[in-house]
């Protein structure tokens, strides 16, 4: 396989998680009667541009199906994050009723609803029907396509160029990352701005966040790699911010390379932090496989001990990262009999691979478990705040990354 960005032959491995089903391919009762499709989940490192990427085994349209079950608006903290970004962007970029905002992978309208409320024209680009339908109900126009250079031209010919293009947690999801970024550059007005948010590779390596690896994530991004990808599309990075979302993310602002705005000092600071962590050398990528095995052992031991003592442990959050963790650890309903999730689209279904039933949070509360395994550890505080008042005071909350944490 060659690098998706620079076409260098890939020679270095980051991690091999074995055979996995697509992490958001939740199962119905009928699905349980037939075998699941699984694909190897292996991640490689390019020694030239340092783009970290999955091996080519799946297509985007096989992963992001019309009934794709992830709805961004389920998370209250994510809605607050989106609202804060929108307000800041409107002020910073002087957006008004004459402006045009495009969000790539706009999901259920969690972000663009803020621009609609401010009377700023916008368009959501969202290929999955279930989430696009939800956004349309909020009055947000939809382009139901996978974005790239061709779709960019269609949008531009119909609406004109964009003053602001937003892509939150989508840059990692696209197999042809050069075409995707070139499309954004083509759609951008001469003095427009692109904002991409993505989980920071530095945090994945430092905190052993191997559960954030799944087929839907084709790339794992450092600023080093994004800097190279942007330059290829004749874009430049003018600012970058470190965020707490998704276990530690970056928000990168891009403009055309001839834009008069100069890069902020944050750009050099983050690049230097990545260099200090040796992200331009292979040793930084050598520990993840071993640490993933340790995390697996800790989790299985905890669940096995709880079962032997007659304790009831249930899960919370049917997240994609949870599917990677559970399937890598070989956890099935005998150790974790149910997982509660606030998204109605997931309730009544089963986790792919592990086939653990997904229920409502109300069912979890009825069970009054001895411990709750939080799978989306990045919002553990939000989950604990919601559940604690409704559970026994001795109920423990557990999460596995970067090591087994047990909180009361």
Give the confidence band of 404 by pLDDT, cuts at 50, 70, 90: very high
Contact between 112 and 101 (Cβ < 8 Å): yes
What pLDDT is stored for residue 408 in this prediction? Answer: 83
pLDDT > 70 fraction of the chain, expressed in percent and rounded? 97
What pLDDT is stored for residue 57 in this prediction? Answer: 62
Question: Does position 69 have pLDDT exceeding 60, yes or no?
Answer: no
What pLDDT is stored for residue 77 in this prediction? Answer: 86
What is d(CA 229, CA 359) in angstroms, rounded to the nearest whole number?
41
Helix (H, G, I), strand (E, B) or coil at 101: strand
- Using only C-alpha atoms, the chain has a radius of gyration, in whole angstroms, of 21
Strand arrangement of the beta sheet that strand 358-359 belongs to: 358-359, 339-340, 313-316, 371-374, 396-399, 405-407
Give the confidence band of 64 by pLDDT, cuts at 50, 70, 90: low
Stated length of the chain: 408
Say what angle helices 265-276 and 223-232 make with each other, to 10 degrees.
120
Tell me the mean pLDDT in the region 277-303: 97
Q: What is the pLDDT of residues 153-167, one digit of tens each?
A: 999 999 999 999 999
Q: What is the pLDDT of residues 180-225, one digit of tens each?
A: 999 999 999 999 999 999 999 999 999 999 999 999 899 999 999 9
Q: Which residue has the higher pLDDT, 245 or 50?
A: 50
Q: What is the pLDDT of residues 361-387, one digit of tens each?
A: 999 999 999 999 999 999 999 999 999
Give the confidence band of 66 by pLDDT, cuts at 50, 70, 90: low
The residue ranges of every structural domain in the chain are 72-284, 288-407
Class of domain 72-284: alpha beta
Question: Does position 68 have pLDDT exceeding 60, yes or no?
Answer: no
User: Residue 152's closest CA among 188, 121, 178?
Assistant: 188
Q: What is the pLDDT of residues 386-400, one digit of tens each?
A: 999 999 999 999 999
Give the confidence band of 71 by pLDDT, cuts at 50, 70, 90: confident
Give the confidence band of 106 by pLDDT, cuts at 50, 70, 90: very high
What pLDDT is stored for residue 135 in this prediction? Answer: 95
- CATH topology of 72-284 equal to that of 288-407? yes
Q: What is the pLDDT of residues 112-154, one digit of tens each?
A: 999 999 999 999 999 999 899 999 999 999 999 999 999 999 9
Tokens of 117: 């409320």
The pLDDT mean for the chain works out to 95
What is d(CA 308, CA 404) in angstroms, rounded to the nearest whole number?
19
Helix (H, G, I), strand (E, B) or coil at 363: helix
What pLDDT is stored for residue 58 in this prediction? Answer: 54
Question: Does position 59 have pLDDT exceeding 60, yes or no?
Answer: no
Give the confidence band of 72 by pLDDT, cuts at 50, 70, 90: confident
* Phi–psi pair at 145, nearest 5 degrees: -140, 160
CATH of domain 288-407: 3.40.50.720
What pLDDT is stored for residue 74 in this prediction? Answer: 79
Q: What is the pLDDT of residues 76-85, one digit of tens each?
A: 888 999 999 9
219-220 vs 235-243, strand pairing mode = unpaired
What pLDDT is stored for residue 374 in this prediction? Answer: 98
Question: Does position 246 have pLDDT exceeding 90, yes or no?
Answer: no
| Helix intervals (H) in 128-167 | 129-136, 149-159
């Amino acid at each position: 396989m060659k690098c998706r960005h620079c076409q260098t032959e890939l020679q270095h491995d980051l991690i091999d998680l074995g055979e996995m089903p697509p992490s958001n391919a939740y199962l119905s009762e009928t699905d349980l009667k037939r075998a699941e499709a699984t694909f190897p989940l292996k991640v490689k490192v390019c020694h030239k541009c340092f783009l970290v990427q999955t091996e080519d085994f799946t297509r985007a349209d096989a992963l992001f199906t019309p009934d794709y079950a992830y709805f961004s608006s389920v998370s209250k903290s994510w809605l607050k994050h989106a609202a804060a970004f929108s307000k800041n962007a409107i002020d910073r970029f002087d957006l008004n009723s004459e402006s045009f905002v495009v969000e790539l992978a706009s999901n259920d309208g969690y972000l663009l609803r803020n621009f609609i409320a401010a009377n700023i024209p916008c368009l959501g680009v969202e290929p999955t029907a279930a989430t696009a339908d939800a956004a349309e109900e909020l009055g947000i126009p939809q382009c139901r396509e996978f974005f790239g250079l061709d779709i960019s031209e269609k949008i531009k010919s119909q609406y004109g160029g964009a003053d602001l293009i937003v892509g939150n947690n989508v840059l990692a999801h696209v197999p042809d990352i050069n075409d995707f970024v070139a499309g954004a550059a083509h759609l951008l007005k001469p003095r427009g701005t692109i904002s991409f948010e993505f989980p920071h590779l530095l945090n994945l390596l430092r905190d052993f966040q191997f559960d954030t690896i799944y087929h839907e994530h084709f790339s794992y991004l450092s600023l080093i790699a994004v800097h190279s990808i942007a330059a290829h599309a004749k874009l430049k990075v003018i600012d970058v911010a470190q965020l707490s979302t998704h276990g530690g993310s970056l928000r990168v602002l891009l403009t055309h390379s001839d834009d008069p705005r100069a890069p902020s000092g944050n750009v050099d600071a983050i690049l230097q932090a990545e260099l200090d962590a040796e992200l331009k050398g292979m040793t930084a990528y050598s520990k993840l496989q071993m640490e993933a095995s340790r995390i697996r052992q800790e989790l299985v031991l905890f669940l096995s001990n709880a079962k032997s003592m007659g304790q009831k442990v249930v899960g919370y959050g049917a997240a994609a990262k949870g599917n990677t963790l559970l399937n890598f650890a070989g956890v099935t309903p005998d150790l974790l009999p149910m997982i509660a999730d606030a998204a109605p689209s997931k309730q009544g279904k089963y986790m792919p691979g592990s086939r653990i039933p997904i229920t409502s949070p109300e069912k979890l509360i009825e069970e009054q478990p001895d411990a709750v395994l939080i799978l989306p550890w990045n919002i553990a505080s939000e989950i604990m705040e919601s559940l604690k008042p409704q559970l026994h005071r001795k109920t423990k909350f557990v999460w596995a990354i970067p090591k087994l944490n047990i909180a009361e």
